[in-house]
Amino acid sequence: MVRPFRWDSERRVLQLLDQRRLPFEKVWIECARADEVANAIRDMAIRGAPAIGIAAAYAVVLGFARGADSGTEAGRFDRLAAALLNTRPTAVNLRAALTRMRSRLESVLSAPAADLLGELEVEADRIAAEDLAANRRLGALGAGLLSPADRAARILTHCNAGSLATSGYGTALGIVRAIAESGRPVEVFAPETRPYLQGARLTAWELKEDGIPVTLVTDGMVGSLLAGARMDAVVVGADRIAANGDSANKIGTYQAAVLAKEHGVPFVVAAPFSSVDLETPTGAEIPIEQRDPEEIVKIAGTRIAPEGVRVWNPAFDVTPARYITAIVTERGVARPPFPASLGDLATLHA
């Protein structure tokens, strides 16, 4: 299990594993300023909803540790938060982490003797630690849903919802890891996930590193795979889950959900509760990030499409709640009707 970031508390520097270079090179980017973290998030050197929330929390620490600012502490925070929120608008974890950092800042400002920078660093550390604990907890809960007695569990996933997308361990792949750690056999089928190939480059690499059997397929093979193979579940992550259960995840997830329902295969969303946005009523209100057309027309820097062709490149799609069998969080497993079950999880742990 690899972690996608390293925080150097002595130097107050955030190191990010450049996921654009995987699986061929392990290159760490050193960020000493908040804008460097923002650029790394925007350019997908670090990606995955929980991971970018954690990176943003440390970016706040860097923003207060370095750089002159003639305004108030609250004003400085607002400028940092605005820049970070503009990097990847779909993932709600980014906003949730910044909300927590603002709350910690406000509590420090009301206690003049407190160490502002130290308190912000403590909160960022806590966000990272809580995410890792949440991944392990939801992994265990999800593993309990998938337990064929006579053979290996067979799971189809999409994109990368593993340790690289979180503080470590993973959400969808956290469930896979929990099954493997229990001693039960498990195998994963990973679509390549066009256009950025997170499945081929990251999920396949993570699982291979862990010694968990993985089979790579193209995105267009998912229907045939679900029709012809004995699949126990489709398990994916989420960047934002609306109050009604609609879930945004990497583009291509929606079609996998429709195909899973057609073939009677359970479709499971795995995410920390910080990905649940009860203030967003339905998936129609989730902002969908539009990305650079170059991601479509090139693969590894090589052009594959004609010059000047028009490109539509949404980073995410929304799976309607009617296609989702269960939403697994560290607080518990939500089932339809999701407005009630997600609301119960929020209330029970308030």
Q: Which positions are catalytic?
A: 239
Phi–psi pair at 6, nearest 5 degrees: -140, 130
Q: How far apart are CA 63 and CA 114, in angstroms?
A: 18
C-beta atoms surrounding 76 within 10 Å: 18
Closest CA to 170 of 143, 200, 211, 131: 131
| Helix intervals (H) in 110-182 | 116-143, 172-181
Written as six digits, the tokens of 314 are 């949404």
Q: Which residues pair with 241 in a beta bridge?
A: 247, 276
Angle at 61 between CA 56 and CA 58, to 5 degrees: 35
Element (H, E) at 104: helix 92-109
Phi–psi pair at 83, nearest 5 degrees: -65, -40
| Residue 191, preceding peptide bond in cis (omega within 30° of 0) | no
| Residue 337, preceding peptide bond in cis (omega within 30° of 0) | yes
Q: Cβ(49)–Cβ(239) under 8 Å? A: yes
Q: Cβ(244)–Cβ(318) under 8 Å? A: no
Q: How far apart are CA 208 and CA 4, in angstroms?
A: 17
- Collapsing DSSP to helix, strand or coil, 206 comes out as helix
Q: Cβ(31)–Cβ(16) under 8 Å? A: yes
Q: Cβ(329)–Cβ(138) under 8 Å? A: yes
Q: Which residues pair with 292 in a beta bridge?
A: none
Q: How far apart are CA 142 and CA 205, in angstroms?
A: 22
